[in-house]
Amino acid sequence: MKTYEVNMEVAGHLAMWSRPDTGSSPTSYPVPTWSAAKGLFEAIAFFKDGRAWINPIRVELCKANNSARAGSIQFQQYMTNYGGPLRETSLINRKANHQLAALAIVEPCYRLYARIENGADQPLRFGDNPCHALQAMFERRLKKGQCYHTPCLGWSEFVPSYWGPIRESTEVDTEINLNLVSVLKSMFDAPVQGQFSPQFQQGEAAWVKDGVFRYA
Residue 157 · residue 15 · CB < 8 Å: no
User: pLDDT at residue 43 above 90?
Assistant: yes
Phi, psi of 36 (to 5 degrees): -65, -40
Say how far apart CA 59 and CA 29 lie, in whole Å: 13
Say how far apart CA 22 and CA 214 lie, in whole Å: 23
> Is the pTM above the cut of 0.85?
yes
Spell out the domain ranges in the chain: 4-85+98-174
198: left (phi over 0), alpha (psi -120 to 50) or beta: beta
* CA-based nearest residue to 72, from 113, 109, 102: 109
Say how far apart CA 57 and CA 30 lie, in whole Å: 16
- Distance (Å) of CA 49 to CA 9, 46, 119, 120, 127: 26, 9, 9, 9, 18
Q: Would you state the pLDDT for residue 184?
A: 94
Which range has the worst mean pLDDT, 63-72, 90-99, 160-169? Answer: 90-99
H helix or E strand, kind and range, residue 42:
helix 34-44
CATH 1.10.490.10 assigned to domain 4-85+98-174? The reply is no
Query: Where are the extended beta strands (E) located within 16-95?
Result: 52-64, 75-81
pLDDT tens for each residue of 123-181? 777 678 999 999 999 999 999 999 999 999 999 999 999 999 999 999 999 999 999 99
User: pLDDT at residue 80 above 90?
Assistant: no
52-79 CB burial, b ≥16 within 10 A, e <16: bbbbbbebbbbbbeeeeeeeebeeeebe
Q: Would you state the pLDDT for residue 87?
A: 66
